[in-house]
Structure 1
Amino acid sequence: MTELILHHYPMSPFAEKIRLALGFKRLAWRSVTIPAVMPKPDLVAMTGGYRRTPVLQVGADIYCDTALICDVLEHVQPEPMLYPPALRGVARVFAQWADSTLFWASMAYSLQPRGAAHLFAKAPPEVAKAFGEDRKAMSSNMVRLRPGDATSAYRSYLRRIAHMVEEHEFLFGAQPCVADFAAYHPLWFTRTQVSPLADILNATPAVAEWMDRLEGMAIGPGALDSLEAADAVRVAADAQPMPPGSNLLVDSAFQDDHGIPLGTQVTVTAESFGAEATQGLLMAATRTHYSLRREDPRAGTVHVHFPRIGYVLRKAEGA
């Protein structure tokens, strides 16, 4: 089964990264719109706790974090490539920087009071309050930039990106790679979701031109249809997860860096933002990812997959 189900919501920047990558790959997908804030009972029924956006579902296999989702998309549709062989290392390193340092500078700039007021201008006051409280809880163990510091950093990062795309059509050459999609989505949020603050992009017109080129390269079939979240849970319940080594993550060799054997009850938790733990039976621990087998009354038996980088593996209490 390779039907792709994306759990997302429209204004999520990381979801936009994957929506654009799906378009670039010319992949069709089904859309499940999830809440922007907790509770997310249908999503958590499958992930076991992980609540960040987006999540990619393929039957009873649940893929968390956009870094891992991009690996899945590359396996499902190898061409055009997100990871060209000559750029595989540098593209991943740049994407990791963009998904973290660049992203948080963009968010701290974009969600300063004027940006937040625009984002929630048409929503009831309680919606904005709930969003703020939810994101505060998700980032309780993080140091967040103040708007002034974020503005300075964001301007510098935009200039650096401009220097790259003044030399090439895309960040590393004539074709886009995963680095482009990772750098694009925080800027997309500023440009499309908080337009009163988008004038920060005016000083680097080459960046806006690069964003337009990337959008033009990523016109695919889009979402085939919408699926209710409860129906996606039933899709998982009616399927069987793919065995480790035969799923959509190509590496399968066990890499033991923790002294935790396969078959152990473990938890996997994000290092920082959104640190809700997922507990399950450790089915795979490869050089790139962890896979946990878990049982849920509604979703049945599922395998939940996480990248190694950015996540903490521990034995579950009592294991």
Structure 2
Amino acid sequence: MSDLILHHYPTSPFAEKIRLVLGFKQLAYRSVYIPAILPKPDVLALTGGYRKTPLLQIGADIYCDTALICDVLEHRQPLPSLYPPQHKGLARILAQWADTSLFWAAMAHATQPAGLADMFGGLPPEAAKAFGEDRRAMSQNMTRLRPADATAALKSYLRRLSESLETQHYLIDATPGLADFAAYHPLWFIRVRTPSMAGVLDAFPSVLAWMDRMAAIGHGLPDKLAGADAVAIAAAAEPLAVAGQTFQDEHGIALGSRVTVAAESFGTDPTEGELVAATRMHYTLRREDPRAGTVHVHFPRIGYVLKPV
């Protein structure tokens, strides 16, 4: 049985990104469905604060943020690669744009009244209210696009994607790569979760054809697992050793210090722990939890803020 555990829920766009990456690499994994909003007791037992979706768990190691998760999966299964050999830097840059600028334009477009009716029309009013309050709490101090501005930006972004996809099947290379998975998931949300708002895609047939190719990749080989069982797996395991990793200090914070790591903008709930690694790519915190035991929680450097306690 696979030791990869994906904590996610079906309608999460960033989880769809990772589900497709797992499908692309034909990886077996255990699938833990988590709540879309708080409370998330099993998630917080593992992360200590971070609550965005998805998480990747391998034993007592918890990997946060899809940018880092993609790197972990690439290391686990190098082929087929997410990073075109001749365009590794370009792939990362384009993926970061897609996960931020494209994503937020797509979300603001999708969550106009007709889109919200698609999302919550069959649910009691309190479900929509609870979701809205949860997301407002996660986006405090963020500048959100107004719907008209978001739709205008989205159309411009779609034209740019279309220009690339009119002459090739994928954004950078002859096969799907990191940029494709990052650009796909915000548009998947519009098309699948808010079909009333999906007309914006109709003017871009090359984008729609590319989306069909991406969807055909599938979600790999999942096997269901309960959240409490995933926490128990962490408690029974030991985190991977971090000794020997190159320490890159940009903050004047020594290894062994008590620190917090939090996202820069959306979902800024901090995780506190002992800083046990700070490489050029990621931070690792060691923390203790009554249920999960000793865990290592990993974050990418880009998009996250490290502070001393």
Q: Sort the TM-score into its range (normalised by shorter chain).
A: over 0.9
Return the letter of the residue paired with 1:257: E
> Which amino acid in 2 is paired with 1:195?
P
Q: CA deviation at 1:167?
A: 1.8
Deviation at 1:220, TM superposition (A): 5.5
CA distance in 1, matches of 2:117, 2:219: 33
Correspondence list, 1:116-265, <5 A: 116-216=116-216, 218-219=217-218, 221-223=220-222, 225-244=223-242, 252-265=245-258
Contact 1:267-1:314 at 8 Å conserved across structures:
yes
- TM-superposed CA distance for 1:215, in Å, is 2.4
1:274-289 aligned within 5 A: 274-289=267-282
CA distance in 2, matches of 1:92, 1:284: 22
Residue by residue, what CA displacement relative to the aligned partner does 1:120-161 show, whole Å, maximum 9, x if unpaired? Answer: 111111111000010011001100011111110011101110
Structure 2 equivalent of residue 55 of structure 1: 55
Question: 1:2, CA displacement in angstroms?
Answer: 6.2
Out of 254, 261, 274, the position equivalent to 1:268 is 261
Q: Structure 2 unaligned segments of length 5 or more: list them.
A: none
| Distance of 2:218 and 2:123 partners within structure 1 | 30
Secondary structure of 2:218's counterpart equals coil
Give a deviation string over 1:193-248, Cα, whole Å, max 9, x none: 001111110000100101111223x235431x2111111100100100001168xx
Q: TM-score normalized by structure 1?
A: 0.95
The 8 Å contact of residues 48 and 271 in structure 2, kept in 1 or not, is answered as yes
Structure 2 length as normaliser, TM-score?
0.98
Alpha-carbon contact 1:2-1:58 (below 8 Å) kept = no
- Aligned-residue RMSD, C-alpha: 1.2
CA drift of 1:173 comes to 2.3
Q: How far apart, CA to CA, are the structure 1 residues paired with 2:59 and 2:124?
A: 36
Question: Identity of counterpart residues, as a percentage?
Answer: 64
AA of the residue aligned to 1:310: G
Cα distance between partner residues in 2 of 1:184 and 1:219: 13
Structure 1: which 5+ residue stretches go unaligned? 247-251
Q: How far apart are the structure 2 equivalents of 1:7 and 1:191?
A: 23
Corresponding residue for residue 291 of structure 2: 298
Instruction: Give the partner amino acid of 2:120.
Output: F
- Give the conservation status (yes or no) of the 8 Å contact 1:61–1:304: yes
Please give the per-residue CA displacement for 1:62-106, whole angstroms capped at 9, x wherever unaligned.
000000000000000000000122111000000000000000000
Q: For 1:90 and 1:2, locate their aligned partners in 2 and report how far apart those are by CA, in whole Å.
A: 32
Preserved CA contact (<8 Å) 1:28 1:220? no
SS in 1 for 2:96: helix
Q: Select 2:307's aligned residue among 309, 314, 319.
A: 314
Matching residue's letter, 1:75: H
Separation in 2, partners of 1:288, 1:166: 34
Q: Partner residue of 1:107?
A: 107
Partner amino acid, structure 1, of 2:130:
A
- In 1, the alpha carbon distance for the partners of 2:251 and 2:209 equals 46
Shift of 1:24: 0.2
User: What SS does structure 1 have at the residue aligned with 2:200?
Assistant: helix
Shift of 1:51: 0.2
- CA shift in 2, pair 1:2/1:241, >3 Å: farther
Q: Distance in 2 between matches of 1:80 and 1:220?
A: 15
**How many residues get paired?**
309
Runs (4+) off by over 3 Å: none
